[in-house]
Structure 1
Amino acid sequence: MTQRELEIIEIIRNNPFVSQQEIADLLKITRSSVAVHITNLVKKGIIRGRGYVIDERDHVSVIGGANVDIVGYPFEELRKADSNPGEVNVSIGGVGRNIAENLAKLGNHTKMFTVVGEDVHGDKIINESEASGIDMSHVSRVSEYGTGTYLAVLNKENDMDVAIASMNIFRKLDRKYIDENRQIISKSKVIVFDTNLEEDVLHYAVQLFKDNKLFLDTVSHTKAMRAKKVIGYFHTIKPNRMEAEALSGITISGKEDLEKVAKYFHDEGVINVFITLGEDGVFYSDGRNSGLMKAKRIIPKNATGAGDAFQAALVHAELNMMSIEEKTRFSMAASIMAMSAYTTINPEMSVEKIEEIMKNMEEK
């Protein structure tokens, strides 16, 4: 918002029935200028209806997983049943939390709703997430379980050899927790769900907040199925090819099938459908416009955070009222930005950097 818009909002907040001429007199500008600002504020969804009711929704809520990733890298060939010299990296992750950090880096007021343990890993998640700009004030800390932990051992080629996911704590991401935070979540401009929630909790929360714009991150083929019965409540979904097939029951072998899958989701109630196809690009549809968008192939430094960046960029694009094509291009550029760093989340992630990548995409 501009400084003038902020001044007008403050005047309206103090007197919702103030006239445009009174606003003009207070700010010493013309009434026609006030009318233009009011129109822009209505278009942005910040004020609505007669009497200038201010929509106090000022944040994005992300409901989902936050965990610690512990990854071991051997220096030589991995020897089973033995101690291997190497390095161990400890970082914070979780699909929901990663989406929240990308959203914050794009300049969005973002609140995270998740559970962590009363342990050092919980401290690490909260402290580092707050440092990245996420509001973690509503995160629940529980003593019954340890913080969600993903432990992986890689081979010499840096591919996963074996891993253990300790995620029992998400049993506490339950209906009671959702109810306790109902008021603040309901005031969100957008609510993003990942499917780390148990199926019954996901269904409960989705129906509870059905009047909000809901975005879904499917996480994985198996977890995506938790959302099948409530898929129509979502404004925007972003499955990959396998997840889209599983959710729709339609096999995808070409663009015609992608159109059929999109129609299935639109008929269920979904507004925007994005199906990620790896190297084949992204299929997009809003029921009126659809297409397949590709970007120049790159060699990623780390591809693990590409989907999280894409999801965050979709939310940012929606909040900035981009067209379906612009949303796709912006989000693909965010994915490229994510893959250009060795870390899961690119520390340089920003709208400006994404726009630079978009310019390069257009030039090519």
Structure 2
Amino acid sequence: MTLREKEILSLIRANPMISQQEIARLLGITRSSVAVHISNLIKKGYVKGKGYVLNEENYVTVIGGANVDIQGFSLDKLKLNDSNPGKVKVSAGGVGRNIAENLSRLGIKTKLITAVGDDLYGEKISNECRIAGIDIDHCLVLKSMPSSTYLSVLDENGDMKVAISDMDTIDYLNIDFLKTKSLIIENSSAIVIDTNLSLEVIEYLLSNFKHKIFFVDTVSTTKARKVKELIGYFHTIKPNIYETEELTGVKITSDHDLEVAAEVFLKKGLRRVFITLGERGVFYKDELTKKFVKPPAVKVVNATGAGDAFMAGLVYSYINDLNLDDTIQFSMYASEMALSHENTINPNISVDSIYNKMRSE
């Protein structure tokens, strides 16, 4: 924030109904200059907008990847080294963006900080975010850069068999840019990050906002390595078995190994550990409780977005102070809704739809 912006913000705090003309008179500058400074304060998140109401609304900030998903669905048994009849869908995706959309559809005010290119894919990502109710005013739009793309092939059971991830655009989401979003991050009720972010950015966020609640989506075993030495800064983590092995150094071949690995997480400072086990469900552990929870029965149509929906369920549950059992059930049924729809994000997901499923099964 510039010195002039600080002066204007101070006047607004003292009198939220002050006019631009009065600000100009008090500071000895033109009214048009005041308008420009106020516009910058709005963009930076210090002011909400009309009436100069300061931004104090509860919201979650998601910082992570956004891309266009190109998904191929095989209609029959997938044959490698051959052309397979099927369907191809193109939609907005990315771990961070997907979590943000699920949160927004669950009624949580959500701000997304990501990087997109100034291209057709970037426009598609932005439009789909707006339609879903995500606040994207604080995203980085890169001129002359392509938006990130994720290309995947799913088999006849809806399971991903191979994928190519072109996520270089997220590397431009650097510390200097995030410094301009400090107030947005600081005022968040919770912060969700994914490991598509660079190690330097993750370290910056955790060290400068260490008093905040952080949820981390580990994305993959390779990308999870970035946070191996930073685990203790997080409140909640949701890895699968392979990511858990990578982060803890514990080879998991039994239920006992899961407990040992979870204890490694907790000793490093994590508060809650949800290890996803696919068809077996979830293993949960904190300082007082440990439990296995089986998932609801579901016909898998598309497994791509299940983890993103589960994470959104965890964040929703935290914001709404749900107890442990309800947290796990709510998150599992959010994941079940994702699994049962061909889109990565089930457009029908909502708090009511999840509770209806929980009551009926």
TM-score range, shorter chain: 0.7 to 0.9
* Distance in 2 (alpha carbons) for counterparts of 1:292 and 1:171: 37
1:200–1:349 distance in 2 versus 1, CA, 3 Å: same
Work out the CA distance in 2 between the residues paired with 1:301 and 1:156.
9
Q: Distance in 1 between matches of 2:150 and 2:308?
A: 17
Counterpart of 2:213 in structure 1 is: 213
| Pairs aligned (count) | 309
> Aligned letter for 1:311?
M
Match in the other structure for 1:352: 352
Equivalent position amino acid for 1:275 in 2: I
How far is 1:253 from its partner?
2.5
Contact 1:69 1:90 in 2 (8 A): yes
Counterpart in the other structure of 1:308: 308
SS in 2 for 1:103: helix
When residues 157 and 290 of structure 1 are mapped into structure 2, their CA distance, relative to the original with a 3 A threshold, is closer
- Aligned-partner SS, 2:298: coil
2:130 aligned residue: 130
Determine helix, strand or coil for the equivalent of 2:211: coil
Q: TM-score, normalised by structure 1?
A: 0.78
Q: Supply the distance in 2 between the matched residues of 1:185 and 1:74 (Cα, whole angstroms).
A: 41
Deviations 1:48-79 (A, max 9, x none): xxxxxx99351100000000012345789879
Distance 1:359 1:322, change over 3 A: same
1:160, CA displacement in angstroms?
6.0
The structure-2 alpha-carbon separation of the partners of 1:143 and 1:340, relative to structure 1 and needing over 3 Å to count, comes to: same
Distance 1:110-1:273 versus aligned 2 partners, 3 A rule: same
CA contact (8 A) 2:157 2:300 kept: no
- Aligned pairs for 1:81-160 (under 5 A) are 87-152=87-152
Deviations, residues 324-347 of structure 1 (Å, cap 9, x unaligned): 222111111111121121111111
Q: In 1, distance between residues paired with 2:340 and 2:348?
A: 10
Deviation sequence 1:293-351 (CA, Å, 0-9, x none): 00243221212111111000000000111122221111111111211211111111011
Is the 1:78–1:156 Cα contact (8 Å) retained in structure 2? no
Matches within 5 A, 1:1-364: 56=56, 58-72=58-72, 87-152=87-152, 163-361=163-361
For residue 223 of structure 2, give the secondary structure of its aligned residue in structure 1.
helix
Offset at residue 266 of structure 1 (A): 1.3
What root-mean-square deviation, in Å, do the aligned CA atoms of Structure 1 and Structure 2 show? 2.6
**Whole-Å Cα distance in 1 between the matches of residues 348 and 249 of structure 2?**
39
Give CA-to-partner distance per residue, 1:19-49, whole Å, 9 cap, x none: xxxxxxxxxxxxxxxxxxxxxxxxxxxxxxx
- Where structure 1 has 5 or more consecutive residues not aligned to the other structure, the ranges are 1-12, 15-53
In 2, the alpha carbon distance for the partners of 1:231 and 1:219 equals: 14
After alignment, is 90-99 or 244-253 more displaced? 244-253
Measured in 1, the distance between the counterparts of 2:122 and 2:262 equals: 39
**Do the aligned partners of 2:313 and 2:334 also contact (CA within 8 Å) in 1?**
yes
**What's the CA shift string for 1:116-150, capped at 9, x where partnerless?**
00111111100111111100111110125210012
Q: Which amino acid aligns with 2:218?
A: T
How many percent identity over aligned positions?
47
State the distance in 2 between where 1:254 and 1:69 align: 35
Deviation at 1:81? 9.2
1:195 partner letter: T
Distance 1:178 1:315 in 2: 22
In 2, the alpha carbon distance for the partners of 1:94 and 1:211 equals 27
Matched position secondary structure for 2:228? helix
Q: 1:42: which partner in 2?
A: none
| CA distance in 2 between partners of 1:331 and 1:157 (Å) | 22
Stretch of structure 1 that moved more, 249-258 or 190-199: 249-258
- Tell me the TM-score normalized by structure 2: 0.79
Q: Which runs of 5+ in 2 are unaligned?
A: 1-12, 15-53
Contact 2:157 2:301 in 1 (8 A): no
